[in-house]
Amino acid sequence: MSNLIEKIKCLIIGSGPAGYTAAIYAARANMNPVLYQGMQPGGQLTTTNEVENFPGYVDGVTGPEMMIQLQEQAKRFGADIRDGWATKVDFSGDIHKVWINDTIELHCETVIISTGASAKYLGLPSEQHYLQMGGGVSACAVCDGFFYRNQEVVIVGAGDSACEEAHYLSKLCKKVTMLVRSEKFRASKIMEDRVRKTENIEILMNHDTVEVIGDEQVVSAIRAKNKTTGEIFDIPATGFFVAIGHKPNTDIFKDYLTLDETGYIINTPGTSNTNIAGVFVAGDAADHVYRQAITAAGTGCMAALDAERYLAGKE
């Protein structure tokens, strides 16, 4: 560890809509925010080709372009945007200590956590290829379902989120095939009943995804395997949605912050406050319900305002 200690009024850990919005508000409030972008600068939206549901972008915008614009807006007001990621924290005292890349020690009056959550994927090479190409693989039906209107899609998952997304897609798509990897749903009975009663949702229990098929640019089918019979067959589809959960990027905070059973940071309802005074949370690190760019940006605003009020109360 370096012996050099930097004192910071407002540290923002992580970028994306939550982090950059927090930086904009904190900078405008003369809090001199320092933002470390993390291992994926811009967050999950940098893997999204088209964003058409964020207010103000009449013709849509690519995820990377939107993140660059948010970053530049934060810089315009004086936010200090840096490369690097937090590797260790100590929130046991009045001064919040954070280490960056295991070498830089920061002593912070306030900390805003916007480290987000990472979607879980099956890990198939073909899945990752089309995910990177933006050619038909997604982990967010609400974000991308619109692009598959009147088309046939496949979704894999067995929980409440998978059922909810399958039902959402059924309102847009001609047909939704739901692959459930086990012999029963993990979803609540009400959610399971909802998808079973939807006419254009076909449910294939005890089926695995073998491969995502396409022309190297866009998806055309999903190769599936019946685990009972061993039969392998292709399901025509232009979209493949993965709904097997998200993992919040919160491991380094678990010794100090209150997390739920899946690792999301628990905040005081109606605020961005965590259980540690002066430490706030924004975006998908705490949100396992909505997970949208616009809601993340809103909580980034909340976190900056809460941090400003916290500092004002100490003066």
Instruction: Kindly state the helix (H) or strand (E) to which residue 5 belongs, with its residue range.
Output: strand 5-13
Which residue's structure tokens are 């190409």?
Answer: 133
Q: 3-state DSSP call for residue 140? A: coil
Among the listed residues 80, 90, 140, 301, the single catalytic one is 140
Measured distance CA(10)–CA(165) in Å, rounded: 37
Give the residue from 186, 128, 197, 193 showing the smallest Cα distance to 162.
Answer: 186
143: annotated active-site residue: yes
Give the residue from 271, 268, 293 showing the smallest Cα distance to 283.
Answer: 293
Among the listed residues 10, 144, 163, 173, the single catalytic one is 144
With a CB cutoff of 8 Å and minimum separation 6, the contacts of 310 are 110, 277, 278, 280
306: annotated active-site residue: no
Give the residue from 144, 166, 143, 168 showing the smallest Cα distance to 156.
Answer: 166
Evaluate whether 104 touches 4 at the Cβ level (below 8 Å): yes
Measured distance CA(49)–CA(133) in Å, rounded: 9
Among the listed residues 143, 163, 173, 287, the single catalytic one is 143
With a CB cutoff of 8 Å and minimum separation 6, the contacts of 120 are 139, 242, 244, 245, 246, 247
Instruction: Kindly state the helix (H) or strand (E) to which residue 221 belongs, with its residue range.
Output: strand 219-226
Q: Inter-axis angle of helices 16-28 and 293-314, to 10 degrees?
A: 40
Quote the tokens at residue 274: 């965590």
140: annotated active-site residue: yes
Catalytic residues: 140, 143-144
